[in-house]
Amino acid sequence: MEGIDAVRRNKTAIEAILCADYGLILNKIDEKKLITRREYNNLKSIVGEDVWGYVVALLDKLLNKGDDTCRAFLDLLQTDDDIKCTFPELRNLQMSNTSLLTKPVQASSDDGSGSQPTGLCVIINNETFIYEKKRTGTNKDAESLAEVFSWLGFRVLCCNDQTQEQMQRALNCFAAPEHGDAFVCCILSHGRENAVLGIDGKPFSIKDIIRTFKATTQSTLTGKPKMFLFQACRGREEQQGVLQKYLQTDDHHSLSIPEEADFLVVMSTVEDYVSFRHPIDGSWFIQSLCQQLKEGCPRGDDMMTILQRMNDEVSQKEASSQPGRRKQMPEVRFTLRKGLFLSPK
């Protein structure tokens, strides 16, 4: 029963990884005749499921077909060139009780003052809601984020139109596998004071989202930077500008870390206020962030410098013909213990 046991032991991690390209893995399994043609057609056209549901149904089908099928499936994951190229994270899964597959190549760190990470970037892009207005322009933001983080060497996965339960399930899956030297989560949605909304209108607490990835002795992300970008309103008030009258300028190691260390959380706006988004060009926050990453990363700027420039750029924008009438101020908070540097690959 070694094949069944290996699939069950790695089931959550495999599901999270294969969600990146369900069509590819389904076709590969069909080519190897691990499922019948009827089973292939049924799995290809499940009604009422998102990509997570498709992958779960596929793995359950393979488990039900017995140990030989599971062994063949695991062999396919480890030997097929297309699969290895598309899902490099599979190499870090323990497929047997005695051996650990070779870990994926990761970017090296520098002398300790910072790191040059590569890893996974997850984009949850909620556009069409049941009870809220459609978030026109959000696809532009998702495309910009996918472009810039792919350019920075991240593997990018995009989950569209997620309910609160689907968002929670997705993030729980992504918290499990090895992703490289860093993890980025971008959530583009409607929001309220301390939560983002699923397309079903149910709130998902920002605190709960972040704590899904807190450091544990089992987590592969412990000690690694975890960046969260939230493009969402945090209230209904519109922020106004204030004329500046005065301007001042100011020219040993523990063996453990706090469980909430190494987080970088960037909110599109401060608490209680709306966040502006153009229906065609995307949001001020995401578009400015992507532009500042494109300009600052090749220069070797650290993330805090880049985010400070983004803050300044967004703060200067006007959403009204009357100066100072409708403004926006992003908010950055962090528990990073080292400098964070992202470099184009």
Of these residues, 190, 252, 253, 278, which one is catalytic?
190
Helices (H), the chain: 2-9, 11-18, 22-31, 37-44, 51-64, 67-79, 81-86, 138-151, 164-174, 206-211, 284-296, 303-315
In this structure, are residues 119 and 155 in contact, taking their beta carbons and an 8 Å threshold? yes
What would the two tokens of residue 117 be?
Answer: 């990470």
Catalytic pick among 19, 186, 233, 290: 233
Whole-angstrom distance, CA of residue 251 vs CA of residue 230: 32
190 is catalytic: yes
Would residue 253 show up in a list of annotated catalytic residues for this protein? no
For residue 203, give the amino acid letter. Answer: P
Interhelix angle 2-9/11-18, rounded to 10 degrees, is 70
Q: What is the arrangement of strands in the sheet containing 155-160, beginning at the earlier edge strand?
A: 155-160, 119-125, 182-188, 226-231, 263-267, 331-334
> Crossing angle for the helix pair 51-64 and 67-79, nearest 10 degrees?
130
29, 135, 140, 199 from 279: Cα distances, Å: 41, 8, 9, 18
Please tell me the distance from the alpha carbon of residue 159 to that of residue 51, in angstroms, as a whole number: 8
**Contacts of 110 by beta carbon, 8 Å cutoff, 6+ apart:** 116, 341
**Which residue numbers are catalytic?**
190, 233
